[in-house]
């Protein structure tokens, strides 16, 4: 497989760390195939922690954080330039009502020059046209 970086969305990360999730097996298969290529935007962590907290409280958040620290993924900070681009994306695609975190991921993907996104949010990432290509490759 190519060593291109793959940006990880919260929907993918949540399913990956939740064995009860119906998409868990798909996330594991993708992780096995693309080992070492994942980039986790820092803004995604808040969403995933919220989802685990909503599902099963603080113990679930702690399990998620423990497993994430063992996994040691590449974390990527959202820069001010990414925020400016995310704002621009939100304004241009205002009628589509893109989520803020998704817009940050889109901006980050442009900055890192990657077209691969691990997500189950097909709608937003399929509508958006990145500056560095015609479309994103959505996994799984």
Instruction: Give percent of the chain with pLDDT exceeding 90.
Output: 89
- Reduced to 3 states (helix: H, G, I; strand: E, B; else coil), residue 75 is strand
Q: How far apart are CA 137 and CA 140, in angstroms?
A: 9
Q: pLDDT per residue over 13-70, tens digit each?
A: 999 999 899 999 999 999 999 988 999 999 999 999 999 999 999 999 999 999 999 9
Report whether pLDDT(91) > 50: yes
Q: What is the pLDDT of residue 35?
A: 85
Q: Which two tokens stand for residue 22?
A: 């119906």
Query: How many Cα atoms are found within 13 Å in the side-chain-facing hemisphere of 55?
Result: 19
Q: What is the pLDDT of residue 36?
A: 83
What residue ranges define each of the domains in the chain, with the CATH number in brackets? 6-77+115-127 (3.40.50.1010)
When the pLDDT of each residue in the chain is averaged and rounded to a whole number, the result is 94
């Amino acid at each position: 497989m190519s060593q291109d970086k793959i940006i990880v969305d919260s929907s993918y990360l949540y399913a990956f760390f939740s064995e009860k999730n119906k998409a868990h097996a798909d996330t594991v298969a993708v992780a096995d195939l693309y080992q070492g290529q994942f980039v986790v935007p820092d803004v995604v962590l808040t969403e995933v922690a919220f989802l685990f907290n909503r599902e099963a409280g603080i113990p679930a958040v702690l399990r998620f954080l423990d497993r994430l620290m063992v996994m040691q993924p590449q974390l990527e900070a959202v820069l001010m330039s990414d925020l400016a681009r995310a704002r621009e994306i939100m304004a241009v695609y205002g009628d589509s009502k893109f989520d803020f975190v998704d817009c940050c991921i889109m901006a980050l993907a442009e900055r890192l020059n990657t077209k691969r996104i691990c997500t189950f949010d097909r709608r937003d990432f399929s509508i958006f046209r990145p500056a560095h290509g015609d479309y994103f490759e959505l996994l799984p």
